[in-house]
Structure 1
Amino acid sequence: MNLNNIYNIYFIGIGGIGMSALARYFKANGKCVAGYDKTKTDITDSLVDLDIAIHFEDSVANLDNRFLNPETTLVVYTPAVPKSHMELTYFKNNGFTVLKRSQVLGLITQNTFCLAVAGTHGKTTTTSILGHLLHECNVPLTAFLGGISENYNSNLILNGTEVSVVEADEFDRSFLTLHPDMACITSMDADHLDIYGDASALIASFKDFTKQLKPNGKLFVKNGLPLKGITYGIEDDADYAAQNITIENGTYVFDVKTPKTVLKNLQFNLPGRHNLSNALVALAMSVEYGVPIQQLAKALASYKGVKRRFTYQLKTDNLVFIDDYAHHPEEINAVHQAVREMYPNKKVLAIFQPHLFSRTQDFAQDFAKSLSQFDELLLLDIYPAREMPIEGVTSEWLLSLMTAKNKKLVTKDTLIENIKKSTADIILTIGAGDIGAEVSKIKKALQNES
């Protein structure tokens, strides 16, 4: 398919983080863009500000006539949209080209030098660091991010079209539409078992992804994963290794051993060894791409992070409030490690909203163990997203599995009053559902208390 012959792009699920990045990209490239989403959000508001028409009712009657010509219109949808969606059904039954987001990403990147970031954890942060490093070093790139970059206040970095930086998403095996020149795999922990069935099928899919590399492509793998490639790791004997790590005023200061040299006294501002690992592989990919090493230190030090990835909402001498997207037990463990490293001996309250009934069921014991590490826990109901309830899989059941003594089930209506009762020094909101919408309310309430 030749995108040059397409003038109109219609998105079903345009408010999704990955979909909205594509919408921004096509709008910036002169296409006529519009879309549907079921919910109005900050993201849809930002797209409307770009003069992208969006409606929130699933009805063919809402479609602009410009998008009713199958010869000049491409329809992009997300797998999260139900098959019964009326607009999607109309387009499929009337001769339109209808593609998943991942297929469109494959089309955009096929004629670029593509750097892809895969892994069950760390994709968004690693992609945003890599995009930032290359942008700051004047590489002509387009980076599609799975989160809102604090540096660019966007999920799209647009600085040219020769190079593309993308997340390679394992959900629905989407990453098998990509053919990268360079790729990294940050982790292969079991997840999305509603799609894969078991961990072995997930691992097999990652191995299939490595075969998608172009001839002479380079694969970067976290040390210890059962794959061959350029290795990276923290304080170990990997090809790229972070060494002599210290923390100065909340900032990591460290050296990086590369296959050819040692980079001294690099600075990185995001807390957590998992984020340091993400920065390390982004640095390694930049070096192997050919960016001058002396430019990378300054670029890395100026990286600010991604919204909802260990994002500070309040930071005072008496109280710290952090918001994070973590929705898998290993991600919660990483957040716990980061907060304990940065704030030793402080009392920590975690507020968690489970995401998906299937994920809660598949990893219940691991969730219980990871969440029990915090001093206090407030647990919200499960966010269903695309799923129907599973009998017996509830937040009450998950809470009963936890060994933590100071734990409580709460609703959004009672959340703030329960937070105010806490004596914690550090407050964390964690989850991938709509808990993010509560963050500003919590922040306002805490500010009024102080």
Structure 2
Amino acid sequence: MDLKNIQRVYFVGIGGIGMSAIARFFNEKGVHVSGYDRTETVLTRQLVEEGMQIHYTDDVQLIDTKAQLVVYTPAIPATHSELKWLRENGYEVVKRSDVLREITKELFAITVGGTHGKTTVSTLTAHLLRHSGYGCNAFLGGISANYNRNFWSSSNNVAVIEADEYDRSFLKLYPDIAVLTAMDADHLDIYGTEAEVQEAFIQYTRNIKPNGTLVGKLGLQRAKDLKGDNQVWYHLNDNKADAYATNIQPSEGGYRFDVVQQDWKLTDVYLPVGGTHNIENTVAAITVAHLLGISDEKIKAAVADFKGIRRRFEYLIRNNYQVYIDDYAHHPEELRALISSARALFPDKKCVVLFQPHLYTRTRDFADGFAESLSLADEVLLLPIYPARELPIEGVHSEMIAKKISKPVQVIQKEDVLAWIKANSATLFITAGAGDIDLFREPIQEILNGKGFIENEEVKKDT
């Protein structure tokens, strides 16, 4: 695949977060970009505004037949009419990961993998490089709040890439620096067992280029099997790590802390984003920036300016009365980190979580873990399972989680959510999930803002 000579690209599933980053990469190079997606979204509308042609009907008559390259997402079923036609008619049809493989071969590649935290670490790393003036090409799995983008380009031949373990896509990447945040069981519909998940992450580190560096989370299982000619281990606060945080203090909805390495210390770092797990993510990103020789003051200034990522511990409301946080968390460990961090930052507020389980297989495999993490809240609302690419599995439903939760819980239909919020109290409200729960963000925000104003006025009258 010679990316330099491609003039027309067609995408099947162009609206996905990872696919759209690749589409933007080609579009910014002056390549003609078009494609299909199932539904119109805010993101697809942005792509159209940027000059790409997108349709939302599976119709072979709408394909760009002059395309030299076709990129598809594994989320598209093999029975998809357009995808079948393109394969049957001799087009070069590749996955998104195949394009990223070529990019990692051509550029100095910093890839970020792991079952949790990879979007935050990759976005913050890319932000550090951009804000400091170092420069990078960024291919992200989330929308940076600083730039409202999941991709940006640079004249510097450096790429920061989120390494997605779904469908083993990340095994095609060849990093110079590989970050590994976690190796917990996930995507068991693909891997089958936790051991196979771990084996895939080990293979990910085997692809590190000669004299490259692994930046790994201290305490990973099978750490001795991980590769990388150079290895740096980071942690939230364990001083046995090569890099860790100390003197952690909550501050204005975020944190102040120091980052310590064996021969280096960065003092009074301010992170304006909530979640203690994000301190650890920041330690990983700072470690990469330090390896690249970025100065202390530029690192601190970039972290202080980091506005976070859409749907990653994102504050939609934050005032003395009401806090509303939205997060992409869809794994038990992510939910645990989200809820425990929010409660630690706002200990006096009643915490209610609205959670949408994502995939029947994940719900089946992790029902106990979901229930344990959700029980950290004061009250839980569960939406029906979001199926995404899966067909229903008999006996698997949100009630599997609900019956194991130790706090007040109810399974609620989408059409009843807003009425519940209008009728009930929750001064710390959290929405979490990877499905279409984000459609509730604006209406919930509007209701809670209105309630907060009314109830604040009533408090003033009483006092």
| TM-score of Structure 1 vs Structure 2, range by shorter chain | over 0.9
Cα distance in 2, alignment partners of residues 39 and 234 from structure 1: 40
- Cα offset for 1:113? 0.3
What do the CA deviations read for 1:47-78 (whole angstroms, capped 9, x no partner)?
Answer: 01111110000011112xxx313xx5110000
Amino acid at match of 1:269: P
Cross-structure match for 1:434: 436
Q: Distance in 2 between matches of 1:249 and 1:309?
A: 17
TM-score (norm 1): 0.97
The whole-number CA distance in structure 1 between the counterparts of 2:156 and 2:15 is 24
1:277 corresponds to which residue?
280
1:154 Cα deviation from its structure 2 partner: 0.6
Residue number in structure 1 paired with 2:297: 294
Matches for 1:215-230 after TM superposition, within 5 Å: 215-225=210-220, 226-227=222-223, 229-230=231-232
Q: Could you tell me whether the CA contact under 8 Å between 1:314 and 1:322 is conserved in 2?
A: yes
Q: What does residue 68 of structure 1 align with?
A: 65
Cα offsets for 1:118-147 (capped at 9, x unmatched): 100001111000000011121231011101
Shift of 1:161: 4.6
- 1:227 maps to amino acid: A
* Contact 1:114–1:166 (CA under 8 A) maintained in structure 2: yes
Following TM superposition, where does structure 1 have runs of at least 4 consecutive aligned residues deviating by more than 4 angstroms? none
Paired AA for residue 23 in structure 2: A
For 1:425 and 1:52, locate their aligned partners in 2 and report how far apart those are by CA, in whole Å.
42
Q: Which residue matches 2:87?
A: 92
Distance in 2 between residues matched to 1:161 and 1:79, nearest whole Å: 31
Aligned to 1:110, the other structure's residue is in SS state: helix
CA positional deviation for 1:340:
1.3
Match of 1:183 among 178, 196, 199: 178
Could you tell me how far apart the structure 2 residues matched to 1:183 and 1:341 are?
Answer: 31
Out of 124, 127, 138, the position equivalent to 2:133 is 138
- Alignment partners' CA distance in 2, 1:161 and 1:23: 20
Counterparts of 1:147 and 1:84 in 2: how far apart (Å)? 28
CA distance, structure 1, for counterparts of residue 94 and residue 262 of structure 2? 41
Offset from partner CA, 1:408-441 (integer Å, 9 cap, x none): 1111110011122322211100000000011111
Aligned-pair RMSD on alpha carbons? 1.1
**Pair 1:388 & 2:391 matched:** yes
For 1:195, which of 190, 193, 212 is the aligned residue? 190
Q: Does 1:419 align with 2:411?
A: no
Comparing 7-16 with 258-267, greater Cα deviation is found at 258-267
Q: Is the 8 A contact 1:139 1:159 kept in 2?
A: no
Query: Residues 180-211 of structure 1: CA distance to partner in whole angstroms, max 9, x if unpaired?
Result: 00011101110000000010000000001100
Letter in 1 for 2:24: R
Give distance in 2, aligned partners of 1:251 and 1:312. 11
Query: How far has the Cα of 1:5 moved from its partner?
Result: 1.9
Unmatched 5+ residue regions in structure 2? Answer: 225-230, 454-463
Q: Quote the offset at 1:227 in angstroms.
A: 1.9
Counterpart Cα distance in 1 of 2:50 and 2:156: 21
CA contact (8 A) 1:247 1:253 kept: yes
Contact 2:101 2:174 (C-alpha < 8 Å) held by counterparts: yes
2:259 aligned residue (256, 276, 297): 256
Partner AA of 1:347 in structure 2? K
Structure 2 counterpart SS, 1:307? coil
Give CA deviations for 1:267-292 in whole Å, capped at 9, x if unaligned.
11111111111110010011112222
The DSSP-based 3-state class of the residue aligned with 1:271 is: coil
Deviations 1:85-134 (A, max 9, x none): 11111111111111001111111221100000010000111100000001
Deviation for aligned residue 1:153: 0.6
The residue number in structure 2 matching 1:40 is 40
Contact persistence 1:131–1:157 (CA under 8 A): no
Q: Select between 321-330 and 160-169 the one with higher mean Cα deviation.
A: 160-169
Corresponding residue SS for 1:363: helix
Query: Which of residues 343, 348, 352 is equivalent to 1:349?
Result: 352
Taking the aligned partners of 2:257 and 2:405, their CA distance within structure 1 comes to: 37
1:360 aligns with 2:401: no
Instruction: Map 1:200-211 to 2 at 5 A.
Output: 200-211=195-206
Report if the CA contact (8 A) 1:241-1:280 is conserved: yes
1:212 and 2:215 correspond: no
Amino acid at match of 1:394: H
Unaligned runs of 5+ in 1: none
1:325-344 C-alpha deviation (Å, 9 max, x unpaired): 00000000000121012101
Q: Secondary structure at the match of 1:385?
A: coil
Residue of structure 2 equivalent to 1:117? 112
Aligned residue in 2 for 1:21 = 21
**Is the Cα–Cα contact under 8 Å of residues 326 and 335 in structure 1 kept in the other structure?**
yes
1:336 matches 2:331: no
Q: Please tell me whether the aligned partners of residues 313 and 325 of structure 2 are also in contact (alpha carbons under 8 angstroms).
A: yes
The 1-side partners of 2:377 and 2:411 are apart by 15
CA distance in 2, matches of 1:140, 1:162: 8
Distance 1:234 1:139 in 2: 26
2 CA distance for matches of 1:408 and 1:19? 36
Q: What fraction of aligned residue pairs are identical, expressed as a percent?
A: 45
> Could you tell which deviates more after superposition, 74-83 or 234-243?
234-243
Corresponding residue SS for 1:234? coil
> SS at 1:106's partner residue?
helix
Name the aligned partner's letter for residue 259 of structure 1.
Answer: Q
Asked whether the 8 Å contact 1:139–1:163 carries over to 2, the reply is no
Counterpart position of 1:2: 2
Alpha-carbon displacement from aligned partner over 1:200-228 (angstroms, at most 9, x marks no partner): 00000000110000000000111111325
1:102 aligned residue (92, 97, 110)? 97
2:154 to 149, 152, 159: 159
* Alignment of structure 1 residues 49-68 onto 2, 5 Å: 49-63=49-63, 67-68=64-65
Could you tell me how far 1:250 is from its partner in structure 2? Answer: 2.3
Show the counterpart of 1:233.
235
Task: Give the whole-Å Cα distance in 1 for the aligned partners of 2:446 and 2:264.
Answer: 48
SS in 1 for 2:11: strand
Q: Residues 446 and 294 (structure 1 numbering): CA distance in 2 closer, same or farther, change over 3 Å?
A: closer
- The one-letter code matched in structure 2 to 1:89 is K
Aligned residue-pair number: 444
Hey, what's the Cα distance between the residues in 2 that align with 1:309 and 1:397?
A: 26
8 Å contact kept, 1:336–1:373: yes
